[in-house]
A and B are shown apart, each in its own frame.
Chain A
């Protein structure tokens, strides 16, 4: 079997080229996923680049990204495959004119590849070209629906009662993301490699800001990363995510701020924090005369 990546470092460099800064754990697990041909279950707080990881891996390896967005009520007709019954009906209509066609023949005929509508999962394993399969927010489907995925995750195959088992032509890279709103089943976890993406370290966050925000200078990026780190240390309902950091950095650049003063930070803090109680807490922690700001800011 050929492998996509040569080494852990190759993964890291490859991802860097597509502007995704991977740390040791991300690069290591991505490399391993390729070698062991196993899916990766990516977990972590919202907005830390879980989905982006799959996209970036696809971009870096020149593969097509197939995405399955999970939601409550997702079923196999939407995830795996569906019979194109309109086309089947049409076929039966056509057959009707001819006398010598037996029922068995028609049946075999209408349950063939031609009438199968592949949905993301089936599409991913039947694709002739390299693909990356992203199963997004897996924690949103019900526990029972998870079982749909087990066959494809462990054996890379799909069993269709009328057609038999379809095996993968090539093994795709699979990423599942979860925001951890519920415990995933043991069966699913066992089949996957587990990767937890947490908020990045200050140094990494600074680099991310530098790569993703054009026109930002080193000093401002440094300040941004520092302030965000300090804010994350507070006990908040929702700590600022990386995407919020980036939004904030962009805002600062647009406002033409070169050096963040206390006032700038307080005026723009609502980009980082989305809960009133969090904003109040941050203001209280960081401002010199908190009372004044409390009065001044109608939240």
Chain B
């Protein structure tokens, strides 16, 4: 077969697919075969087309794209010749680069500066580099920007072979030295001067700023890519892929999500709620018929001479539960509460009523924030800023919060109500007041406890989820979107 003629690429692909699977992407055997087939048609040199072709055969969920792309860069980054890292070639390449930039903007000083910078590696002073960066960003010159990214990494990241440090560390070092925030301000100043004596309207200023931010973002990506290339060259693709292994959005742990992952989660939750809502609506509509309607069947049997040939069924009337959400919004579990509230309100049409309460050591009802508002994010923002949830010291006190709930709203819990309590049950050694849970369970239809902590940590330290759990109809570990979606799906 054709495998023999281009063996290395197939080996490489095999490793790559392995790594994709390890990262959690479901690549089936037939997809793997498609990918191998695709590789034969698309030249490796056309890197973009190659990347998209592989993605088209193996990545069938947009949420997995980012994971794929990162791994692709790791596995195939050294293969294109423009990414050669050898210092000899480096010189040549950069020669080309500066030629390009010369053509682009007849900037003599740029070309010279770069040439020297490359040859010696240290020929450029820090100020010169900063100035070049400024110019490149101002003009949006991609070639120059790429060159600067390489230079900056070489100079500032302080990468040494074999050093067991992650890419983020190098990225941080490089970015700190470039000080992009003040570069942005300088760029804005420059723009303001350019239009003087006229003034930029806030609207124009905003647009300019977005433009520069986009360019800076591009630069940051170049730098990341450069660091990754160097790390791969140092450690090899497999080892590098291992350090980069990141959970897919639906598997990101709420409690330990980084800021970047939070953004990713926020983006992921919207399509998820939409899908869930569509699925639930469909389920409701397509549910089997209700129980036999005896009266109607007999009535219709008359036209068949008394033979019940046409059985009639009642319309199904699935009960819509009423939901009470009681959420801990103290620091450690705030994100979890936010996502759960978001999800519950997004499918609120599936419930007859949703009421929500938030607490830290005091408790406040926040239902009104969500009423008549079609932007849930906005409402959740208000929950976090306006709700009155601190009673004494702003440390979680489940006991007191439950007491307040019971006192004020307890009588409104009825046999149709499903109560969800969200929190890690880390009570800071206050009294648990678990009897309230017992009372709630007694009055309500169901009482569920959702805990964002891994099960192994339950009931360790000041976590008393077990005390409450005794009186709940179920306690669930809900650490990521996948588990949350599953729970809500079953709830309806």
Contact between B53 and A190, CB atoms less than 8 A apart: no
Residues of B near A131 (CB, < 8 A) are: none
Contact between A194 and B278, CB atoms less than 8 A apart: no
Say yes or no: is A145 at the interface (Cβ < 8 Å to chain B): no
CB within 8 A of A230: which of B31, B210, B374?
Answer: B210
Contact between A182 and B59, CB atoms less than 8 A apart: no
Give min CB distance, A39 to chain B, whole Å.
11
Given A180-B271, A183-B275, the answer on whether A29 and B52 have CB atoms closer than 8 Å is yes
Give min CB distance, B145 to chain A, whole Å.
15
Q: Which of B59, B65, B214 has the largest count of A CB atoms less than 10 A from its CB?
A: B214
Say yes or no: is B132 at the interface (Cβ < 8 Å to chain A): no
Interface band, chain B: 35 or more
Say yes or no: is A31 at the interface (Cβ < 8 Å to chain B): yes
Given A36-B34, A38-B34, the answer on whether A24 and B52 have CB atoms closer than 8 Å is yes
Contact between A35 and B56, CB atoms less than 8 A apart: no
Task: Give the A-B contact count at a CB cut-off of 8 A.
Answer: 112
- Nearest to A33 among chain B residues (CB) is B56
Contact between B274 and A28, CB atoms less than 8 A apart: no
Residues of A near B377 (CB, < 8 A) are: 235
Say yes or no: is A229 at the interface (Cβ < 8 Å to chain B): yes
Contact between B203 and A36, CB atoms less than 8 A apart: no
Interface string of B97-109 (1 = CB under 8 A from A): 0000000000000
Say yes or no: is B46 at the interface (Cβ < 8 Å to chain A): yes
Q: Which of A35, A186, A223, A233 has the largest count of B CB atoms less than 10 A from its CB?
A: A35
Say yes or no: is B37 at the interface (Cβ < 8 Å to chain A): yes
- Nearest to B275 among chain A residues (CB) is A182
CB within 8 A of A32: which of B38, B207, B211, B282?
Answer: B38
Interface string of A203-231 (1 = CB under 8 A from B): 00000000000000000000100110110
Contact between B31 and A277, CB atoms less than 8 A apart: no
C-alpha spacing A40/B60, complex, angstroms: 11
Contact between A36 and B49, CB atoms less than 8 A apart: no
Contact between B30 and A190, CB atoms less than 8 A apart: yes
Contact between A265 and B374, CB atoms less than 8 A apart: no
Contact between A28 and B48, CB atoms less than 8 A apart: yes
C-alpha spacing A211/B62, complex, angstroms: 28
Residues of A near B275 (CB, < 8 A) are: 180-183
C-alpha spacing A32/B274, complex, angstroms: 32
Residues of B near A8 (CB, < 8 A) are: 42, 46, 49
C-alpha spacing A88/B378, complex, angstroms: 63
CB within 8 A of A28: which of B42, B202, B203?
Answer: B42
Interface band, chain A: 35 or more
Give min CB distance, B263 to chain A, whole Å.
10
Contact between B210 and A28, CB atoms less than 8 A apart: no
Contact between A229 and B56, CB atoms less than 8 A apart: no
C-alpha spacing A192/B59, complex, angstroms: 11
Residues of A near B46 (CB, < 8 A) are: 8
Contact between B37 and A237, CB atoms less than 8 A apart: no
- Nearest to A179 among chain B residues (CB) is B274
Contact between B52 and A25, CB atoms less than 8 A apart: yes
Contact between B210 and A226, CB atoms less than 8 A apart: yes
Contact between B49 and A190, CB atoms less than 8 A apart: no
Contact between B56 and A195, CB atoms less than 8 A apart: yes
Residues of A near B279 (CB, < 8 A) are: 182
CB within 8 A of A193: which of B50, B56, B211?
Answer: B56
Say yes or no: is B244 at the interface (Cβ < 8 Å to chain A): no
Contact between A237 and B374, CB atoms less than 8 A apart: yes
Say yes or no: is A294 at the interface (Cβ < 8 Å to chain B): no
Interface string of A146-181 (1 = CB under 8 A from B): 000000000000000000000000000000000011
Given A226-B211, A277-B375, the answer on whether A32 and B56 have CB atoms closer than 8 Å is yes
C-alpha spacing A277/B375, complex, angstroms: 7
Residues of A near B62 (CB, < 8 A) are: 43-44, 180, 196
- Nearest to B277 among chain A residues (CB) is A181
Residues of B near A36 (CB, < 8 A) are: 34, 37-38, 41
Within 8 A of A (CB), among B259-280: 266, 271, 274-275, 278-279
Say yes or no: is A189 at the interface (Cβ < 8 Å to chain B): yes
A: residues with CB less than 8 A from B are: 8, 24-25, 27-29, 31-32, 35-36, 38, 40-41, 43-44, 142, 180-183, 186, 189-190, 192-196, 202, 223, 226-227, 229-230, 233, 235, 237, 261-262, 265, 275-277, 281, 285-288
**14 interchain pairs (CB within 8 A)?**
A24-B49, A28-B48, A28-B53, A31-B49, A35-B38, A182-B279, A230-B206, A230-B210, A233-B210, A235-B377, A265-B203, A275-B374, A277-B378, A288-B203
Q: 14 new A-B pairs (CB below 8 Å) besides A182-B279, A227-B207, A261-B201?
A: A8-B42, A24-B52, A25-B56, A31-B41, A41-B60, A180-B62, A183-B275, A186-B28, A194-B59, A194-B60, A202-B214, A233-B210, A275-B374, A288-B201
